[in-house]
A and B are shown apart, each in its own frame.
Chain A
Amino acid sequence: MTTRPKSDAPERVPGDMALACYVYGVVHADARLPEDLTGIAGGKVSLVRHGDLGAAVSEISPVQALGTRDDLLAHEAVVEALANETTTLPLRFGAVVTTADALAEEMLGPHADWFLDVLDDLSGAREFAVSGVYVEDVVLREVLHEDPEAARLRERIRELPEDAAYYDRIRLGELIVKALDDKRQTDTDELITALEPYATAVAPRAPAGEDAAADAAFLVTDRKLPEFEQAVDRLGERWSGRVRLRMVGPLAPYDFVPPPPGEEA
Chain B
Amino acid sequence: MTVSPYEAGSGPVQRSSGSALVDVIDTILDKGLVIDAFVRVSLVGIELITIDARIVVASVDTYLRFAEATNRLDLYEKGGTGLPGLVGELTEKGTHGGAKGKTKGMLDAARETVGEVLEERAERAEERDTRRRAPRRERER
Taking beta carbons and an 8 Å cutoff, which residues of A are in contact with B?
Answer: 20-21, 23, 26, 62, 64-69, 71-73, 75-77, 79-80, 84, 89-99, 102-103, 105-107, 111, 129, 135, 137, 159-162, 208, 225, 229, 232-233, 235-237, 239-241, 244-252, 254-255, 257, 260, 263
Q: Interface residues of B: mostly helix, strand, loop or mixed?
A: mixed
Report B41-60 residues with CB < 8 Å from chain A CB. Answer: 41-50, 52-53, 56-57, 60
- Nearest residue (CB) in A for B131 is A161
- 7 closest residue pairs by CB, A with B: A236-B12, A260-B37, A102-B42, A95-B35, A254-B31, A67-B49, A236-B13
CA separation between A237 and B13, bound complex, in Å?
8
CA separation between A80 and B1, bound complex, in Å?
9
CA separation between A92 and B35, bound complex, in Å?
8
CA separation between A195 and B25, bound complex, in Å?
24
- Nearest residue (CB) in B for A71 is B53
Distance (Å) between the CB of A22 and the closest chain B CB?
Answer: 9
Taking beta carbons and an 8 Å cutoff, which residues of B are in contact with A?
Answer: 1, 3-4, 11-19, 21, 23-35, 37-50, 52-53, 56-57, 60, 105, 109, 112-113, 124, 127, 131, 139, 141
> A72-B25, A97-B35 in contact; A246/B13 too (CB < 8 A)?
yes
> A91-B32, A92-B34, A245-B14 in contact; A137/B46 too (CB < 8 A)?
no
Are A93 and B50 in contact, CB atoms less than 8 angstroms apart? yes
CA separation between A65 and B13, bound complex, in Å?
37
Q: Interface residues of A: mostly helix, strand, loop or mixed?
A: mixed
> A67-B53, A106-B38 in contact; A73/B21 too (CB < 8 A)?
yes
CA separation between A161 and B124, bound complex, in Å?
8
> A68-B49, A92-B35, A255-B27 in contact; A233/B12 too (CB < 8 A)?
yes
Distance (Å) between the CB of A139 and the closest chain B CB?
Answer: 13
Are B33 and A26 in contact, CB atoms less than 8 angstroms apart? yes
Are B46 and A62 in contact, CB atoms less than 8 angstroms apart? yes
Are A129 and B35 in contact, CB atoms less than 8 angstroms apart? no
> A67-B53, A250-B3, A254-B27 in contact; A232/B13 too (CB < 8 A)?
yes
CA separation between A102 and B52, bound complex, in Å?
31
Are A250 and B18 in contact, CB atoms less than 8 angstroms apart? yes
CA separation between A107 and B42, bound complex, in Å?
10
Are B57 and A69 in contact, CB atoms less than 8 angstroms apart? yes
- Nearest residue (CB) in B for A164 is B139
Are B124 and A162 in contact, CB atoms less than 8 angstroms apart? yes
> A66-B48, A254-B27 in contact; A91/B16 too (CB < 8 A)?
no
Are A248 and B18 in contact, CB atoms less than 8 angstroms apart? yes
- Of B13, B28, B39, B48, the residue contacting A97 (CB under 8 A) is B39
Distance (Å) between the CB of B106 and the closest chain A CB?
Answer: 11
- Of B19, B28, B38, B42, the residue contacting A111 (CB under 8 A) is B38
- Nearest residue (CB) in B for A252 is B32
Chain A residues near B23 (CB-CB < 8 A): 129, 246, 248
CA separation between A135 and B23, bound complex, in Å?
19
- Nearest residue (CB) in A for B56 is A69
CA separation between A245 and B15, bound complex, in Å?
9
Are A92 and B30 in contact, CB atoms less than 8 angstroms apart? yes
CA separation between A239 and B16, bound complex, in Å?
19
Are B16 and A246 in contact, CB atoms less than 8 angstroms apart? yes
Can you offer 28 A-B residue contacts whose CB atoms are under 8 A? A67-B48, A67-B52, A68-B49, A73-B21, A76-B21, A80-B18, A90-B28, A91-B34, A93-B29, A93-B50, A96-B35, A96-B43, A97-B44, A98-B43, A103-B42, A135-B109, A137-B109, A137-B113, A160-B139, A236-B12, A247-B16, A248-B15, A251-B18, A251-B24, A251-B27, A255-B27, A260-B37, A263-B37
